[in-house]
Structure 1
Amino acid sequence: MALSTEQALALLLILNSAHLTAADCSAQDHVAVSGSAGGRAVLPCSYTPTPGQDVAVTWYAYSDQSSALLIYSESPSAPIPAQWSGRVKLSDEVSSGNASLLISELTLEDTRDYTCTVGINGKCVTYRNVKLTVQGPPKRDSTTATTQKTSPCPTQQGNAAAQRRLYCMKRL
């Protein structure tokens, strides 16, 4: 039986991280994050770094139908699922304890649950659930008047002045 890339990476994660599960972590917490369509969001995840230790960070995305491995720091060149390709990035400060995930160009479909797991030397030290909610772009109020630029109008009276006033009222 052939494994898909995602299945192979998940298996690699299990083998390399000594079966990291939520039960292995002392603290499981839940965080809510919101963003706007087209914008970006940072999904927070942190841990207390231990110098010289082997750190592995994994981010998963969950939907009603399935789960997807987004990022596995031990295999940074692993393919990212198509819907997040070019839009997700692990923090550059992982060795300093910041395992946050940046998602750019948010879409409404990015609304879902995400999980961050951090393992040090194969032992789970952080397990965080993040609920991302993406809102649509702000609706424009069609009743808002737009400001029109006009040239200054003369305050003089008479035919010539009236013609200049008509010209002044034209949009620039």
Structure 2
Amino acid sequence: MALSTEQALALLLILNSAHLTAADCSAQDPVAVSGSAGGRAVLPCSYTPTPGQDVEVRWHAYPDQGEAVPLINSKTPSAPIPAQWSGRVKLSDEVSSGNASLLISELRLEDTLHYLCDVWINGICVTYRNVKLTVQGPPKRDSTTSRTTTTTTPTTRPSATPTTRPSATPTTRPSATQETSPCPTQQGNAAAQRRSFCMKPL
């Protein structure tokens, strides 16, 4: 399946240039690149530079349906970029040294596509590479942590206060007030009567 995609992309390149022949544009090994939504990914592409020659690097995106979408061209770096990638794609700063990679930042799920890099020297395609980019969604962590925190609070409130209040006061008061002196008090000699206090006559 990857081989048929390469052949289709090579055919598109052949149709785009009158100078291009099958022997002129050599295919690099296809590459699969993955990234996470919101992150960044580098789509690799390279060539062998030759001093003094006119180099042009082109990047295209290939949706599942529809025509190829031109992304960026080293010859016209200020040209408008399609809205889906506007402000998020950047060509390597080392194109003249043989690095023709493309940086895509703030990745989106819809960036999952086939991309094609082709390098032209003096108007003739010398190499191209098919890059498959897959963007994965961020991990779902928030839903599990919020559930565990909400279940801990209701269990501690009801059981703390009602159990201790009713049993504390009623049990101690009656026993203190119902104690009565077993013997009546007598008036008269205080010292003698203190000894005979609580003594009943025979």
TM norm. shorter chain > 0.5: yes
Cα offset for 1:34? 0.3
Q: Which residue of 1 aligns with 2:136?
A: 135
Cα offset for 1:29? 2.2
24-33 or 115-124, larger mean C-alpha shift: 24-33
Q: What TM-score comes out, normalization by structure 2 length?
A: 0.60
One-letter identity of the residue aligned with 2:106: E
> In the superposition, relative to structure 1, how do residues 37 and 78 fare at CA in structure 2: closer, same or farther (>3 Å)?
same
Cα distance in 2 between the residues matched to 1:84 and 1:96: 25
- Bigger radius of gyration among the two: 2
118-127 or 33-42, larger mean C-alpha shift: 118-127
- How many residues align? The count is 134
5+ residue gaps, structure 1, are 1-12, 149-172
Cα distance in 1 between the residues matched to 2:113 and 2:63: 6
5+ residue gaps, structure 2, are 1-12, 150-202
Pair 1:61 & 2:66 matched = no
One-letter identity of the residue aligned with 2:56: A
CA deviation map 1:69-96 (0-9, x unaligned): 0011111121110110100000000000
Higher strand share: 1
> In the superposition, relative to structure 1, how do residues 92 and 108 fare at CA in structure 2: closer, same or farther (>3 Å)?
same
Cα distance in 1 between the residues matched to 2:59 and 2:116: 6
Q: Which residue of 1 aligns with 2:36?
A: 36
Q: Which residue of 2 aligns with 1:162?
A: none
Identity of aligned residues (%): 84
Contact 1:18/1:122 (<8 A) preserved: no
Q: Which residue of 1 aligns with 2:80?
A: 79
Pair 1:27 & 2:27 matched = yes
RMSD over aligned Cα, in angstroms? 2.6
- Superposition misfits of 4+ residues, deviation over 2 angstroms: 16-24, 26-29, 141-145
Q: What TM-score comes out, normalization by structure 1 length?
A: 0.69
Q: Which residue of 1 aligns with 2:3?
A: none
Contact 1:37/1:105 (<8 A) preserved: yes
